[in-house]
Amino acid sequence: MQTPSLPSKIDPWRLAAESGRLEGSLALAALPRLIAELNRTDGVVSVALVAGIDPRGVRFIGGALRTGVELVCQRCLGRLRLALDVTVSLGLVHGEAEAGRLPEEYEPLLVPEGAIRVADLVEDELLLALPQIPRHDDARDCEANGYRTPDRVEHDQPFATLASLLRDSRRSH
């Protein structure tokens, strides 16, 4: 199967006017702000976006981005693989005032006249989809990486042992 190629730049206004499509894949390695957050830099993101003008006259870019990323769990510092399946629903706007008038289902995409980089668009959407504090959903996955949950740590308290030793030594005098 041949992967359709993505243009490196698009004019979103023109793409919407022409009901264009953006389909293909991008290497994660081409997204520097994203890979700064990741544990691995290989992999690709598949892009399936369409542009158009909705019945209310909103110029939009919508569709889906799919990829798998590897992060570092902030609880156990182990590897955390995450599938990102991002729904994109962007309404094109020229400025803030226009953004305020967009129907709720759209996130504003501020685009002055001219071209934007497809990689920037994809990267921004993926960055928004990353968890702020990546963690395994199941704490047992963290324990498998050597993490001990706080209630278990309380079971052996080195200071409690020390305190009882001190008490014993005082008693013997």
What's the CA gap between 167 and 74, in Å, rounded? 39
Nearer to Zn ion, 14 or 75 (CB): 75
CB 107 within 8 A of CB 116: no
Question: What number of H helices and E strands is found in the chain?
Answer: 7, 7
**What is the rounded distance in angstroms from the CA atom of residue 58 to the CA atom of residue 145?**
49
**Shortest separation between residue 68's beta carbon and Zn ion, angstroms:** 17
136 lies in the binding site for Zn ion (CB under 5 A): yes
What is the nearest approach in angstroms of Zn ion to the Cβ of residue 109?
A: 34
By CB under 5 A, the residues from 20 to 79 that bind Zn ion are: 73, 75-76, 78
Minimum distance of Zn ion from residue 28's CB (angstroms) = 22
Considering only the stretches 32-40, 44-52, 97-105, 139-147, report the one whose residues sit in contact with Zn ion under the rule CB under 5 A.
139-147
Restricted to residues 68-127, the positions that interact with Zn ion (CB under 5 A) are 73, 75-76, 78
- Span between the terminal Cα atoms of the chain, in Å: 85
What does the alpha-carbon distance between residue 134 and residue 141 come to, in Å, rounded to a whole number? 13
Residue numbers at the binding site for Zn ion (CB under 5 A): 73, 75-76, 78, 136, 142
